[in-house]
Amino acid sequence: MINHEYEVKVYYKDIDQMGFVYYSRYFEYFEAARTELLSSIGLGVSYLEKKGIYLPVITSYCKYLKAARLEQILLVKTMISSMPKSKLLINYSVFTNENHAEIANGYTEHAFMNEDKKAVKLPMIISSRLNNLKK
């Protein structure tokens, strides 16, 4: 339905003493990647928050296939492949930029929350935007 690509470079802050990207850092890469996907369809996180819409993560998953290392450039392919109902599912695949080997993949699920921090149904502003993109 919607695809987006985001590049991120690995720095010292990300690397553990095995010389690999530390496992939780992928969720930071996922967050940047989905922020850019949402921004690319006119649903930037800051914009949504100004409208009183928050997207807290309710589940997160990552499968680590290969180690990523210092100064590698990673390509995060991000996808929303189905219309959200009560929650939004986003999928991620991470590749090395040089040889396109898959490094990791995963997903996050997001609830919709209002300014009072109450769960709400899929906001119109999101559903109408996604419906327009399907066409």
**Which residues of this chain interact with a copy of itself, rule CB under 8 A?**
9, 11-13, 15-20, 22-25, 27-28, 31-32, 35, 39, 44-46, 49, 54, 56-64, 67, 69-71, 108, 113, 117
Q: Rounded to an integer, what distance in angstroms lies between the CA atom of residue 91 and that of residue 75?
A: 13
Give 70 or 101: the residue with its C-beta nearer to a copy of itself.
70
- The angle subtended at Cα 129 by Cα 53 and Cα 108, nearest 5°, is 60
Query: At its nearest, how many Å lie between a copy of itself and the CB of residue 1?
Result: 23
Say if CB 36 and CB 61 are below 8 A apart. Answer: no
Ranges of H-type helices in the chain:
25-40, 45-50, 124-134
Give 13 or 135: the residue with its C-beta nearer to a copy of itself.
13
Query: At its nearest, how many Å lie between a copy of itself and the CB of residue 11?
Result: 5
Give 41 or 135: the residue with its C-beta nearer to a copy of itself.
41
Phi/psi at 79 (5° precision): -140, 135
Say if CB 111 and CB 56 are below 8 A apart. Answer: yes
Give 17 or 134: the residue with its C-beta nearer to a copy of itself.
17
Query: At its nearest, how many Å lie between a copy of itself and the CB of residue 122?
Result: 19
Residue 5 vs residues 51, 78, 129: alpha-carbon distances, Å: 26, 6, 19
Query: At its nearest, how many Å lie between a copy of itself and the CB of residue 134?
Result: 26
